[in-house]
Chain A
Amino acid sequence: MSRLGDLGARLYRGEVGYDFVGKRKFWYALSVLITIAAIAGLAVRGLNMGIEFKGGAVFNTPKTSISVSAAQDHAEKASGHDAIVQKLGNGGLRIQVTELNTAQADKVQAQLSKDLDIPQEKINADLVGPSWGKQIANKAWTGLGIFMILVVIYLAIAFEWRMAVAALIALIHDLTITVGVYALVGFEVTPGTVIGLLTILGYSLYDTVVVFDSLKEGSKDITKQTRYTYSEVANRSINSTLVRSINTTVVALLPVAGLLFIGGGVLGAGMLNDISLSLFVGLAAGAYSSIFIATPLVADLKEREPSIRALKKRVEAKRKAAAAKGEAPDYSDEGGDEPRDAGPDDETSAPDIPPAAAVAGPRSHGGRGRGRPSGKRR
């Protein structure tokens, strides 16, 4: 704790920090890779849409003593898909299985009759339409579109258009990755998944906005000074909110991880898996992208602005002059490095934190450029 509090303080004062903005190319490249993998997965494997979207077959059994969960196991084994099993008022079972053509449905019917020990002719098979109609899906898309437009307008007003653009890119990045993971893992996409995705939509932007708020505050009156470039200010903003980012991410991820690994994994609850996987991936991606993608993107965009470019020149000129006077500045000239004074004791680590953690940065540029930032102790 003491060392951690100390680290918090040093992060706050900018004595230590990870050079997020300076190493942005690495993180951009990583994100592009992940995104390409996600899109490739999506293209090759496609999404495994659940019965709620595609419809499927429904089997009605007469009164039976077989338990719902046993029937579910049988149905899932027989069909290889998620099954929805409900007990009806008359004691029979209603078993719904996704995406079966007539031939497959016959086979599943035969298999079910064997497994459940019910004569095949008593199992009534029928096709069932999607309960999550096109209409719902289409309206959800419309809603998503309208929301994105509004949020860009809002961020452009509350912050500025560059931040709005960066936040939108980060959001799309998060959603793409999450959807890609679904394609790769092959989990069935259920309404729960879609809702998980929409939750991420809110969370990802929320997290980005918290970081941007600090950036906005930090870069107030930036052109009136000549000590730091915009990129440096951006980097410092990330570092000063880093403790908050880590804590928030941990707090948000822990319960979801509980749902995913304990609820879904150990206790084996199917639908929970679908939801919590999208939440877990999305929350992690959201926290990552706010720090490693969104803010560096803003810095990139900002550095193209004439006044900010002029500022950078002035800062560089001043540093050169200072160097000439022998004041030994340890600033690097590429935007992004921090004045720092790395102590030896911040090399603590705890590997279980998402990539938002930081450790003392290298003293000079490129010292440990590829080093994954390790977490820190709590």
Chain B
Amino acid sequence: MAAPQKGRRQTGAPGKPGRTLILFLIAMIALVGGMFGAGELTPRLGIDLAGGTTITLKAKSSPGQANAVNETNMNTAVGIIERRVNGLGVQEAEVQTQGSDNIIVNIPKGTNSQQAREQVGTTAQLYFRPVLTLGPGDPSAQQPQPEATPSAGSSDSPKPSPSTSDKSGDKPADPPAAGAPSASETTQGRALTDNLKADATPTPGASDKPGPSESPAPSDSAAPPADPATEKLQADFVALDCTNEKARGALGDSAKPSEPTLACGENDGVWEKYILGPAEVGGKDVDDANATINQQTGQWIVQMDFTGGGSKKFQAITSKLSQQQAPQNQFAIVLDGEVVSAPSVRQTLSANAEISGNFTQESAQDLGNILSYGALPLTFQEETVTTVTAALGGEQLEAGLIAGAIGLALVIIYLVLYYRGLALIAIVSLLASAVMTYAIMTLLGPGIGFALNLPAVCGAIVAIGITADSFIVYFERIRDEIREGRTLKPAVERAWPRARRTILVSDFVSFLAAAVLFTVTVGKVQGFAFTLGLTTVLDVVVVFFFTKPVMTLLARTKFFSGGGSWSGLDPKRLGAKPPLRRSTRRLGAPTDPKEA
């Protein structure tokens, strides 16, 4: 779709109309067949037309942030939830606040509401923390006690996670502690980046090295051994039972990014427990995250791009870690208090990282969504989940459809009165376009969660005008050619390049509007832009691959080429000049001495 195009058939040769037409019909049948095959016979309707599920979430402050439930945070949360549930922009979910600490999420009927509920409430607090100590998750399977107090950690790092960067020297960040055993490999999850990939494998080679690591407490962190917090952490670590779900749940709630913490992580079905240093890089440092398939392993992974600041921090931490001995050279990727992977680092890395784990396509995509759109500033509890009926009621849709049908009938009457036989082509083309739009919208329902709301229905009704315009432009060009004294067949072919140019140029503008709005905006505007773009593309498709070939074919029939009074192409009625008259076409033509 671009500016005036020099078409292949500039001269207007008839081409192979039959073949084009058959291809078009096959495509159409395939679409409709796909619709029946998928068992989806109606488009998914938006919440305003079909109702859906409404979820009420109650905000809770994160630990240590007593005043977190405020207007700003609530609005941020609304924005984040909005983007999460409308990941592709066409799902038509609605998010709003209610009272001071509730958020209502409305999801249209037919959406996977289980998945939506998970996405909506998920806090997704992502942190990269250095591993200080590692142990098997079940305390009964006892092991030597790790000591190597996580040094500075708790004590002298009041700062929240990120800050670290290169001043590592005096930061608690330096993973000072020792790794505990854990013979198991940390294969479960690895964050790798490019060059890291190769060596990410069996990290904790250090495995059965008992507790006190060889390089505890580096330089600065002359770990005040008496630090009560640290000792408590140790004690807790010993007591921690990662196989106990409740114990795990409690962990996530108490973790502060700026302090060392305990965490659990599942690795090949075996739970492991960790003491982790303060967070070095957080979810806010992630610019974008996407689910992809790892080419080598064929597994789903989540790939992250860091922001500028994030990649500096990531570089700093990996450069530090890479100089550590085996157990402490791991960093844990902690999501909502749980270690999803703990890769080891051997080189300084930056820019991007991958999270691998036992992801399915869906869980990888969910995580990607959640990471891209940021961490909720609050934690939420699901208060109620209930169904709601359509906000617009059935009678609105009915009234709209009746009115639309009457309007369409008027359009058809108008076209028949004006274009007579030609109107048939216009109406059939409109029908073809309607069938394709309907089928595609229906298929996109389960495909990408596309939901049709009332504004979109109205937009589609306006699209009738834009689509019909393409035929009208073409018909008028044909009639102009006939007025020049041409017979129908050459007129149809000569009119086409000029009509085609007009159609492409003007549809391009519409498409540009749709594309820009779709890329830039969110929520309902995005859904609208999608509908506009779809109908515009279909307009071009129908005119090129249906209307034009049909016109070419019909020009061969007697009814049309004979110029009967009902064909709409009667040269006499059109006021055609006798063939020998000089062409006085465009006004610019300097040739004509005197008009008419």
Contacts and interface: CB of A to CB of B under 8 A. Distances in A.
Nearest to A3: B573
A84 B417 contact: no
A300 B273 CA distance: 78
B411 A12 contact: no
A109 to B, nearest CB: 15
B458 A192 contact: yes
Nearest to B477: A244
B573 A213 contact: no
Nearest to A257: B407
Interface in A339-362: 339-341
B387 A88 contact: yes
Contacts of A243: 476
B461 A255 contact: yes
A5 B480 CA distance: 11
Given A58-B98, A84-B391, A198-B528, A12 B480 contact: yes
Contacts of B102: 126
B469 to A, nearest CB: 4
19 contacts: A68-B393, A126-B98, A129-B78, A129-B98, A133-B96, A139-B522, A140-B517, A199-B532, A202-B536, A218-B588, A221-B588, A248-B465, A248-B472, A252-B462, A254-B411, A258-B405, A272-B400, A276-B458, A283-B465
Contact of A86 (B390, B473, B524): B390
Interface string B560-596: 0000000000100111100000001011111010111
B588 A270 contact: no
A129 B390 CA distance: 19
Contact of B595 (A13, A157, A237): A13
A195 B531 CA distance: 11
B462 A9 contact: no
A94 B510 CA distance: 38
Contacts of B588: 218-222, 225, 228, 233
Which 8 residue pairs across A and B have the least CB separation, nearest first? A252-B465, A9-B575, A258-B407, A225-B590, A255-B407, A263-B403, A129-B97, A89-B386
Query: B interface, by DSSP: helix, strand, loop or mixed?
Result: helix
Interface stretch (A32-40, A141-149, A176-184, A365-373): A141-149
B553 interface: no
Of B104, B472, B519, B594, chain A has the most CB atoms within 10 Å of the CB of B472
A44 B80 CA distance: 36
B520 interface: yes
B446 interface: no
Nearest to B103: A129
Query: A interface, by DSSP: helix, strand, loop or mixed?
Result: helix
Of A15, A69, A262, chain B has the most CB atoms within 10 Å of the CB of A262
Nearest to B479: A8
A191 interface: yes
A210 B507 CA distance: 9
Interface string A115-144: 000000000001111111111100110111
Nearest to A209: B506
B256 interface: no
Interface in B348-398: 386-393, 395-396
Interface residues on A, range: 35 or more
A170 interface: no
A341 B517 contact: no
Contact of A195 (B389, B459, B587): B459
Contacts of A207: 506
Given A127-B99, A198-B525, A218-B587, A150 B512 contact: yes
Contacts of B410: 254-255, 258
Contacts of B104: 128
A135 B522 contact: yes
B509 A209 contact: yes
B514 interface: yes
Contacts of B417: 1, 378
A275 B403 CA distance: 13
B66 interface: no
Interface residues on B, range: 35 or more
Interface stretch (B36-44, B150-158, B190-198, B497-505): B497-505
A23 to B, nearest CB: 18
B525 to A, nearest CB: 5
Contacts of A257: 407
B469 A228 contact: no
Contacts of A136: 82, 521-525
Interface in A84-107: 84-90, 94
Contact of B51 (A86, A256, A275): A86
Contacts of A269: 392, 395-396, 399-400
B458 A275 contact: yes
A232 interface: yes
A272 B403 contact: yes
A6 interface: yes
A46 B455 CA distance: 23
Given A87-B389, A195-B524, A203-B462, 13 more contacts: A130-B96, A133-B95, A143-B517, A151-B509, A195-B458, A198-B528, A198-B532, A202-B510, A205-B513, A209-B506, A255-B408, A263-B402, A378-B418
A378 B418 CA distance: 6
B508 to A, nearest CB: 7
B176 to A, nearest CB: 43
Interface string B190-215: 00000000000000000000000000
B415 interface: yes
A223 to B, nearest CB: 10
Given A9-B576, A217-B498, A279-B458, A233 B587 contact: yes
Given A12-B483, A147-B517, A219-B588, A251 B506 contact: no
B4 A218 contact: no
A138 B443 CA distance: 31
Interface string A221-261: 11011111000110011001101100111111111111111
Nearest to A143: B520
Nearest to A269: B399
Contact of B464 (A1, A87, A195, A251): A251
Contacts of B390: 86
A65 interface: no
A9 B411 CA distance: 23
B190 to A, nearest CB: 36
Of A134, A154, A248, A251, chain B has the most CB atoms within 10 Å of the CB of A251
A10 B575 contact: yes
Nearest to B95: A131
A14 interface: yes
Interface string B80-99: 00100000000000111111
A191 to B, nearest CB: 5
A272 B457 CA distance: 10
B428 to A, nearest CB: 15
A15 B468 contact: no
A128 B56 CA distance: 12
A196 B524 CA distance: 12
Contacts of A227: 590, 592
A271 interface: yes
A157 B575 contact: no
Contacts of A248: 465, 468-469, 472-473
